[in-house]
Structure 1
Amino acid sequence: MINMLSEMGYEHLTEQQEQGEFYIYFYKKISEHEDSQAASEKVDAVIQSATPVAYPIIMRLLQSEKIRKHINIKELKVWEETEKHLAWITSGKADISFSALITSAKLRNSDIKIPALFVWDNFVLLTRYKAENFQDIKGKEIHTPLFEEAPPAKITKYLIKASGLNPDDFKFVFGSPFGRPEKIYADFVSGQADTVILREPEASYAIKIMQDRGEDISIISFNKIWNEINPGFGSFPNAGLVLKGEFARKHPEETQVFLEELRSAINWVNENRSASAKLAFDMMRQPVDRIELFLDRVNFEYVDGEKLTVKVKQYFDILNQHDVVNMEIDKEFLDIFAI
């Protein structure tokens, strides 16, 4: 918490009250670019994330003097429960969200904008069995995030079927009430689950733990199978930035500053992975070496504008064709991806 608040412009004072008891006081510091009048003119924003893949980016953004100059981060909320995160989007409580694409796109009737995506190819299948493809894990239990009708399970079944196999020959296991990535990851490394679908960063955490133990596992890349089925598609989108539409309309200058700083933060993380791991370890609650592996494996690329719209349309056309989603991909929908 101290590290995160420090990046938000706070200083702290620690006082020991008695043996084993400390009080920590936080107070806002004024930067060389900020005075009281300027601070009062800044735009308030509530920022949230339920996808830990974005945490290194968020920590770098919190260091931005440009953002501090233009935006007062009124609240920064980090959720473990996706459903609560989505409730803040639909209610308009969150101005800026870091969220998964498919989940957010289903909120098309809400007042939202998705001007940029920056997380690509985010899912893999890990198994303790020797496996190169789905055929090799036929009949095995696959511990899967969320629930049966959610995107991870439906995309996996699409990939299985498109690979010439029957999804009914695979047993998908879900948690109650949902399959939480944190629980699936913990079950895999503890040996309670042999085959799992994981997003980043949990996939890299699991891989690093198994490497350190000297235990062999197999990694099946969804991106590799996706491109075998859809030749030349390239990376498929996973997550990005979701803005409250009202915020983007009322504060175009601040929105542009945030987008520019987001692009800059992504570039910095890609070019400074070791420093980024050290910056983010407190927020991610993992050892630096696991975060470094995650940053080596994750695919961060800032994409916006026409390139984004084209890729999103291609992606949802495929998902619609194979009943992964049922969404009308019209001009109104695609306009969500433009400011």
Structure 2
Amino acid sequence: MKKFVLGLLLVLTAGLFSCKQNDLNEVHIYLPDGTPALAMASVLDKGFVYEETTTYFHLVQASEIAARISQQDCDLAIVPMTVASTLFNKGIDIQLASVNVFGNLFIAGTRELKRLEDLKGKVVYTTVGTTIDMLKYLLEQNEIEYAFGAEAEEGKVTLSSKNDGSEIIPLLKAAANKNQEAYGVLGEPQVTKATQLIDNLVISFDLQEEYRKITGFDGYPQAGLVVKSEFASDHSAYLQALLSALLSNETYLLENTESLPEVFKRYNSSLQAMTFTTDTIRRCNIRLAESKNIKEEVQTYLSALTGNTVADSFFWTVKK
């Protein structure tokens, strides 16, 4: 009798596990509005089909994405790498599935500059967060002193923080109209927008190239796809299928530049107001690398910008 009961329990347990693996009615994926959303443009447009599962995509303000990850209905999200690592190190049970954005920052201005040293004695407008952290890192590695404020200081680069790139573009335009010097760090697709609004705007520095000169890596892991650890364990086949679908996203972006605003209009995204060219897309540096293949790049980037790294369990891989 005991053997019969034990056998029955084993059968029931196996059945429940099988149901858990396959019974996936809906999946909710959150994306921050802006460049990171381009990492899923192809599936935002065409949808993602996986068996009987319905996948819902939610675009939210970038400032909300960290809080959304902690919500019960969020299964996956595109997240800045520094945010993902901070949440992971605080005990949030997430893993990195892939890196999808490899840096999209440039310094544009009303004058052409040749070297980062040429920024000494000038004010550079920059947004807060990873943008200013990256600029500080590059300046430090090039032994260039910097200060914070609104007035230029001799021998130093003065960093003037703004909330968003949309605040920087008018400042550059006003300076251009007065034939004055002004410089700002902008991310694509705002770089393209700025060049359309400001005559003779010069893109002097590609921060991804400056980072490569220091680390040897082709760009930096700016943002990636994170997944709740329980979801990754229970539904690894779904996750693998999604990553496979996203492999063609880079090609999709290059082939559909004109229709991208219409795609994002359906999601009430700020990207609907942007103009995309093939140069814009290339400067966005959207591609996919599975996390298991890019551990060193992620750890180097996190150490440079935050001073911290992550445990190996942060990197998702299919359990065999």
Distance 1:58 1:137, change over 3 A: same
Q: What is the CA distance between 1:164 and its match in structure 2?
A: 2.6
- Matched to 1:308, the amino acid is I
**Deviation per residue, 1:29-84 (Å, 9 max, x gap):** xxxxxxxxxxxx6531222211522334433103446526443234x32223x331
- Are positions 1:122 and 2:104 aligned together? yes
Determine which structure has more spread, i.e. the larger CA radius of gyration: 2
- What's the counterpart of residue 302 of structure 1? 288
Cα RMSD for the two superposed structures: 2.8
In structure 1, distance between residues paired with 2:92 and 2:146: 34
Q: What is the CA distance between 1:124 and its match in structure 2?
A: 1.2
- What's the counterpart of residue 184 of structure 2? 196
Q: Which runs of 5+ in 2 are unaligned?
A: 1-22, 148-155
* Alpha-carbon contact 2:146-2:159 (below 8 Å) kept: no
In structure 1, distance between residues paired with 2:273 and 2:174: 16
* Alpha-carbon contact 1:59-1:279 (below 8 Å) kept: no
Q: What is the CA distance between 1:92 and its match in structure 2?
A: 4.1
- What's the counterpart of residue 209 of structure 1? 197
- What's the counterpart of residue 327 of structure 1? 308
- Matched to 2:273, the amino acid is Q
Q: Which runs of 5+ in 1 are unaligned?
A: 1-40
Instruction: Pick the aligned partner of 2:84 from 104, 129, 137.
Output: 104
Distance 1:208 1:239, change over 3 A: farther
TM-score (norm 2): 0.75
- Are positions 1:223 and 2:203 aligned together? no
- What's the counterpart of residue 237 of structure 1? 221
- What's the counterpart of residue 121 of structure 2? 139
**Deviation per residue, 1:68-109 (Å, 9 max, x gap):** 6443234x32223x3311101133442121121122211112
* Alpha-carbon contact 1:181-1:202 (below 8 Å) kept: yes
* Alpha-carbon contact 2:30-2:65 (below 8 Å) kept: yes
* Alpha-carbon contact 1:124-1:222 (below 8 Å) kept: yes
In structure 1, distance between residues paired with 2:239 and 2:171: 41
- What's the counterpart of residue 40 of structure 2? 58
Matched length: 278
Match of 1:106, SS state, is helix
In structure 2, distance between residues paired with 1:229 and 1:152: 17
Q: What is the CA distance between 1:158 and its match in structure 2?
A: 1.9
Q: What is the CA distance between 1:238 and its match in structure 2?
A: 1.1
**Deviation per residue, 1:239-268 (Å, 9 max, x gap):** 121212222222222222212112233343
- What's the counterpart of residue 138 of structure 2? 159
- What's the counterpart of residue 78 of structure 1? 59
Q: Which stretches of structure 1, 4 residues or more, deviate above 6 A after TM superposition?
A: none
